[in-house]
Structure formats: structure tokens, C-alpha cells
A and B are shown apart, each in its own frame.
Chain A
Amino acid sequence: MTEGKTKIVAFLCNWCSYGAADLAGVSRLQYPSDTRVIRIPCTGRMSPEFILSAFKEGADGVWVSG
């Protein structure tokens, strides 16, 4: 964590949460900017390797959303 900023890696499903994030943006809804979004083709693409890699590279939190 640098400069008091939290780093959260968000794995979002292209069809669900990624769409929701897009819609939130289009609707100009405000939400915290600590998340770094990684788009995955489907939540089925998710694997434990991703989560551990994210933590290994210094993430403070991981959020998986389908």
C-alpha cells in the first residue's frame, strides 16, 4: 500500500459485473477508486492461481465477482 491507497484487484465477469461496472460509469455513479479491474471472459475462468498471484504481486485485497 503506497500513499495510503488501498490496492484491490477485482476480477469481473465480462457479462455480469463488468457490465454493471460499465453501467455504473455510464450512470455517473460514484464509487471508490481503489479497485483495479481485470476483465475475465466468465467467472468460470477464475482459478485459485489468480487470487494467489494477485496477493503475491502486492494486492491488499481481492474481489471476485460474477
Chain B
Amino acid sequence: MGNLLEHIGIEKDRLHFSWISSAEATKFVKVAKEVTESVKALGPNNRLVKKLG
């Protein structure tokens, strides 16, 4: 999925995958921060968004 979205011009960092066990709260926090930062760095998403009205 990531590859095809990137292929049509969606920035790669908008879509993240991770694998966290239920005992890894610290990893969850770490990944959550990473994801947020990388998406923030890209700014708002205008592509793919369906404008209403």
C-alpha cells in the first residue's frame, strides 16, 4: 500500500506501520512521537482529501 501511494505522489512519511507488543508501552510512546513528528514535518495533507460542498 505504501509503495503504491508513494507511486502516485503521496509522501512516504504520511503512512506508518509498526509492530508493538502490549507490554511495550515505552515503544508505543516512542513510535507515537516519531509518527507525529514526521507527519508534522510534512504539513497538512491536501491530496486525497475529499472536499465537501
Contact = CB atoms under 8 A, between A and B. Distances in A.
Direct contact of A and B (CB under 8 A): yes
A24 B28 contact: yes
Contacts, number: 119
B35 A8 contact: yes
Residue of B23, B40, B49 with most partner-chain A CB within 10 A: B40
Contact of A64 (B17, B24, B28, B48): B17
Interface residues of B, number: 36
Chain A contact residues: over half helix, strand or loop, or mixed?
A: mixed
Interface string B6-43: 00001001111111111111111101110110111011
A10 B36 CA distance: 11
Interface of A: 1, 6, 8, 10, 15-24, 26-27, 29-32, 34-35, 48, 51-52, 55-66
17 contacts: A8-B35, A8-B36, A20-B21, A20-B23, A20-B28, A30-B29, A32-B36, A51-B5, A51-B15, A55-B48, A60-B39, A60-B43, A61-B45, A63-B15, A63-B16, A64-B18, A66-B18
